[in-house]
Amino acid sequence: MPSPTSWTPAAPLSTARLSLEPLRTDHADEMFDVLDDPGLHTYIGGDPASREELGDLYARQVVGSSPDGTQGWLNWVLRRHDTGRAVGTVQATLTHGPDGGREAELAWVVAGDEQGRGYAREAAVAVAGWLREDGVGTLVAHVHPDHDASAGVARAVGMRPTGTVVDGEVRWTT
C-alpha cells in the first residue's frame, strides 16, 4: 500500500467569469439548491443528495485527503463574478501514479440552468493549469460516452479518450 502523503490544499482561483472557492462545509446549504436536480444524474446515475447527505459529504471532503492519506481531495465551488451565484463544482482527486508522479482525476458539474455557457470548461481549464503548476503530471477524467459537453471539457484541458471503460464511462487522460 502506498504511504500517506501530505497533499497541497486547494487554493482560491479566478477566471474571467468565475471565482473558484475552496470547498467549505458552509457551502452545503447553498450548493444543495444548485445540485438538487435529477437531470444532473442523467449520465452518472443515482439521485441528488439530501441536504444532510451533502453536508456530511462536504464535512468529509474539506479534510483534504482520504483517511489513510493516499488520496488528496481538492474541491472548489464555482461562483459567477457578475451575479455572485454558485453554479457548480470542480474536484480533483490526487494520487501517485505508477511512475510515482502525481496524477489528478478531475470531475465537474454545473447547475442545469447554467449549462451551455462554458463554465465547466473555464473552471476545469483553470484547475488543470493550477495542478500542472503544482507538479501534477497526469490528468484523468471519466466521461459517459454520450455526454458530448463533458467530452468537450476533457478536450479543453488537453485530455484524449482511451480504450478503457470504467463503470460505463470512457477514461480520458493527458
Asked whether residue 108 is domain-assigned, the answer is yes
In total, how many domains does the chain have? 1
Cα–Cα distance between 101 and 95 in angstroms, integer? Answer: 8
Q: What is the pLDDT along the chain (174 residues), one digit of tens a residue?
A: 445 668 999 999 999 999 999 999 999 999 999 999 988 988 888 899 999 999 999 999 999 999 999 999 999 999 999 999 999 999 999 999 888 899 999 999 999 999 999 999 999 999 999 999 999 999 999 999 999 999 999 999 999 999 999 999 999 999
Is 47 inside any structural domain? yes
Q: Which amino acid does the sequence have at 110?
A: V
CA nearest neighbour of 130 among 106, 154, 151, 155: 106
pLDDT of residue 66: 96
Residue 47 amino acid letter: D
The parent domain of residue 118 ranges over 13-133
Question: CATH no. for residue 109?
Answer: 3.40.630.30
28 belongs to a structural domain: yes
Let me know if residue 174 belongs to a domain. Answer: no
pLDDT of residue 27: 98
- Indicate whether 100 belongs to any domain: yes
Residue 3 has a pLDDT of 53
Q: Is residue 5 part of a domain?
A: no
